[in-house]
Amino acid sequence: MTIYRDLRVAFFIALRDIVRGNRWASALTILLITLTFVNLVVVGGVLVGLIESSSLSNRVRYSSDVILSPLADKSYIEQSPSIIAAIDAMADVAQYSPRYAEPGKLTAGYKTTMDPKAIPDHANMVVTGLDPVREERLTGIGTKIVEGRFLKPGEFGAIVVGANLLRKYLPIDSPGIQTLDVKGVGEKVLLTVGGSKKELTIVGVLKSKVGELDQRAFMNAAELRPLIGRNDLNVDEIAVQARNEEAIPRIIATLTARGIGKFARIQRWDEAQPKFIQDIKDTFALLGNIIGSVGVVASSITIFIIVFVNAIVRRKQIGILKAIGVNSNAIELAYVVQSLFYATVGIGLGLAISFLAIKPYVDAHPINLPFSDGIIATTWQGTLARLLALLAATLLAGYIPAKLVVRKNTIDAILGR
Amino acid sequence: MTLIRAENLTKKYDDGDTVVVALDRATLSLNSGEFIAVTGRSGSGKSTLFHQLGLIDTPTSGALAVLGTNVLSLTEKQKTAFRLKNIGYIFQDYALIPTLTAIENVALPLLMAGMPKAVAYAQARKTLDSVGLAGRAKHLPSQLSGGQQQRVSIARAVSHAPALILADEPTANLDHESSLSILGIFRKLTERGITVVMITHENEYAKMTDRVITLFDGTIESDTGK
- Domain-wise residue ranges, chain B: 2-223
Residue A386 and residue A292 in contact, taking contact as beta carbons nearer than 8 Å: yes
Biggest distance spanned by C-alpha atoms of chain A: 103
Least confident interval from A404-413, B8-17, B52-61, B141-150: A404-413
Interface check B91 vs A, CB under 8 A? yes
Cβ <8 Å between B84 and A324: yes
Q: Of B202, B225, B215, which is closest to residue B21 (Cα–Cα)? A: B215
CA dihedral A268, A269, A270, A273 (to 10 degrees): 120
CA distances (Å), origin A205, targets A65, A147, A190, A214, B37: 25, 5, 16, 9, 99
Residues, chain B, total? 226
Testing the interface with B: which of A314, A324, A411 to mutate, by most B Cβ within 10 A? A324
What does R_g of chain A's alpha carbons equal in angstroms?
A: 32
Burial of A18 (0-12, 13-18, 19+ CB in 10 A): middle
B163-178, pLDDT tens digit by residue?
A: 999 999 888 877 888 8
List CB contacts of A143: < 8 A, sequence separation 6 or more: none
In this complex, the residue of A12, A13, A320 whose CB is nearest that of residue B95 is: A320
B154-208, pLDDT tens digit by residue?
A: 899 888 889 999 999 888 877 888 888 888 888 988 998 999 999 998 889 999 9
Q: What is the mean pLDDT of residues B138-146?
A: 93
Nearest Cα of chain B lies from the Cα of A416 at a distance, in angstroms, of 13
Residue A376 and residue A46 in contact, taking contact as beta carbons nearer than 8 Å: yes
Percent of chain B at pLDDT > 70 equals 99
CA distance B19 to B25: 15
Q: What is the DSSP string of A260-287?
A: GGGTEEEEETTTTS-HHHHHHHHHHHHH
> Backbone dihedral region of B215: left (phi > 0), alpha (psi from -120 to 50 degrees) or beta?
beta
Q: Of A300, A409, A327, A413, which is closest to residue A13 (Cα–Cα)? A: A327
Phi and psi, residue A283, nearest 5°? -65, -45
Chain A residue closest in CA terms to B51? A411
Cβ <8 Å between B104 and A327: no
CATH code linked to domain B2-223: 3.40.50.300
Cβ <8 Å between A324 and B156: yes
In this complex, the residue of B88, B111, B157 whose CB is nearest that of residue A8 is: B111
B102-135, pLDDT tens digit by residue?
A: 999 999 999 999 999 999 999 999 989 888 888 9
Question: Number of residue pairs across A and B with CB atoms under 8 Å?
Answer: 81
What ipTM was predicted for this assembly?
Answer: 0.88
Nearest Cα of chain B lies from the Cα of A313 at a distance, in angstroms, of 13
Cβ <8 Å between B80 and A328: yes
Q: Give the pLDDT of residue B91.
A: 85
**Mean pLDDT per 10-residue interval, chain A, length 417 residues:** 88 92 86 87 82 85 93 91 94 95 88 67 90 94 92 93 88 74 86 89 91 90 92 92 94 94 93 80 81 78 78 82 90 90 93 93 85 81 86 85 81 76
CA distance A255 to A239: 13
Question: Strand pairing of A93-108 and A188-193?
Answer: antiparallel
CA distance A137 to A242: 13
Residue B159 and residue B148 in contact, taking contact as beta carbons nearer than 8 Å: no
